[in-house]
Amino acid sequence: MGTAGESIDIVTDPEPGPETSLLRSTPKEPSDSFHFAYIIYFTLGVGFLLPWNAFITAVDYFSYLYPYTAVDRIFAVVYMLVGLVCLLVIIIFYAHKSLASFRINLGLLLFVIALLVVPILDLVYVKGQVGLYAGFDITSCAVALSGLADALMQGGLIGVAGEMPERYMQAVVAGTAGSGVLVSLLRILTKAVYPQDSDGLRKSANLYFAVGIVVVVICAVLYNVAHRLPVIKYHEEVKNEALIKESQDKGSLSGGVWRKSLWEIVKKVKSHGFGIILLYVVTLSIFPGFITEDVHSELLKDWYPVLLIAAYNVFDLVGKSLTALFMIKDEKVAIGGCIARLLFYPLFWGCLHGPMFLRTEIPVAILTCLLGLTNGYLTSVLMILAPKAVPLHQSETAGIVTVLFLVIGLASGSVLAWFWVI
């Protein structure tokens, strides 16, 4: 096994023929010592979703500053729309020209800038004052910048993970759920410690953004350290051989050749994409809007939605972690599970208008946990399977295309949530 400073040797035949396989011999894959590479990819998964979670979790503070403004819905539209447009531009014009490492590092830098906007704005301009709507416009621009950063980092990271063994994609996807759990814990902590007045909301918001900045900086350090790990260097060697073979077979991927190759990839992963879109249409049209606005508890009062959101995030993490132990290998079965989740609509409807026993806290909590569990597990399965449905040299692009399907599902679910009037 190599060390951090050594190159990875891939033994090849002295006179390879035209039908020789990609690696042409059995390579020696280094082990992931102390699961460090897995931990790095999990942390990166936490990192690219944490900025969005910081903005949306601080919505109470923003709603206080900017009354009569649908802050959460405006943020969602801005973030999703910018992310979707930027992903389309990246896929069509830049994915085959730019390095994933450049896009990931640029995304991390933009995340830090976006997260710094709110605390600096609070310090020098807003200062807790209500109704300074220029501050809301600047904050919305920061949300848009985060959407751009998300497109750059998530597209690059999912693409890179798609070229590696399944466990690294599972790590990234589980990390996204870990981000939700971290923010839920922070939300519970701040609600318990700080008073729910203007000063308490301000301190809570600044804490969310401070934690977000620290985590993103840690992600930047870890990502650039990861390239020194033997296991990562090995898979980069494998990728390079795949790219060399592809360039020999088809020449430079530009113009019509790239568009044709991109369309072939889309056709190969379209069933996975359909499942992902359906998955998030169902999830986002119910969560978190239904949880935060439609159900109520006389016993738990304003703690009820906070605890339900935490339960969803915990079970989402459980679902995304289960694929490390057992994973469905047939995408048709996974897509069938996505279709079956349409049953959540009548079930949640029953929690408001059904028999009295369904209107209590326990049925709502159980359904919320199941919503998170199925969302997490099926997301992980489809995100892992999609890049493996294409040859290795197309895996990065397949990963980015899968992220595009994911964002379409998120945007569609967010829009449908506006019509979830019961």
Residue 16 in domain: no
Q: Do the domain assignments include residue 18?
A: no
CA-CA distances (angstroms) from residue 285 to 78, 143, 383, 412, 417? 17, 21, 21, 8, 4
Using the structure block, give the residue that is written with the tokens 């693409």: 159
φ, ψ at 299 (rounded to 5°) = -75, -50
395-416 vs 71-89: helix crossing angle, rounded to 10 = 150
Q: What is the mean pLDDT of residues 215-243?
A: 88
Q: Is residue 262 predicted with pLDDT exceeding 70?
A: yes
Residue 80 placed within a domain: yes
Task: Output the CA torsion sign for 137, 138, 141, 142.
Answer: negative
Q: What is the 3-state secondary structure (H, E, C) of 15-83?
A: CCCCCCCCCCCCCCCCCCHHHHHHHHHHHHHHHHHHHHHHHHHCHHHHHHHCCCCCHHHHHHHHHHHHH
- How many folded domains does the chain comprise? 1
Measured from the Cβ of residue 350, the count of other Cβ atoms closer than 10 Å reads 15
Q: Which residue type is seen at 75?
A: F
Tell me the average pLDDT across 252-271. Answer: 78
User: In the predicted model, what is the mean pLDDT of the chain?
Assistant: 86
Quick check: is 185 in a domain?
yes
Per-residue pLDDT band at 211 (split at 50, 70, 90): very high
What's the pLDDT tens digit per position in 294-336?
677 778 888 888 899 899 999 999 999 999 999 999 999 999 9
Which two structure tokens, joined as six digits, stand for 361?
């806290």
CATH of the domain at 277: 1.20.1250.20
Structural domain includes residue 411: yes
Per-residue pLDDT tens digits for 126-164: 888 888 999 999 999 999 999 999 999 999 999 999 989
- By residue range, what is the domain housing residue 281? 34-419
d(CA 335, CA 321): 19
Residue 151, pLDDT score: 93
Give the chain's radius of gyration (CA, Å).
Answer: 22
Q: Decide if pLDDT at 255 tops 60.
A: no
- pLDDT bin (cut points 50, 70, 90) of residue 170 is very high
Q: What is the pLDDT of residue 249?
A: 52
- Indicate whether 377 belongs to any domain: yes
Average pLDDT on 194-206 reads 90
On whether residue 26 sits in a domain, the answer given is no
**Residue 220: CB atoms within 10 Å:** 19
**Assigned domain for 384 exists:** yes
Q: Is 210 a residue whose pLDDT tops 70?
A: yes
Task: Give 56's pLDDT tier (boundaries 50, 70, 90).
Answer: confident
Position 270 scores a pLDDT of: 95
User: Which of 181, 176, 149, 183 has its CA nearest to residue 55?
Assistant: 183
Residue 98 burial by Cβ neighbours in a 10 Å radius (0-12, 13-18, 19+) = middle
Average of pLDDT values for 355-383?
A: 92
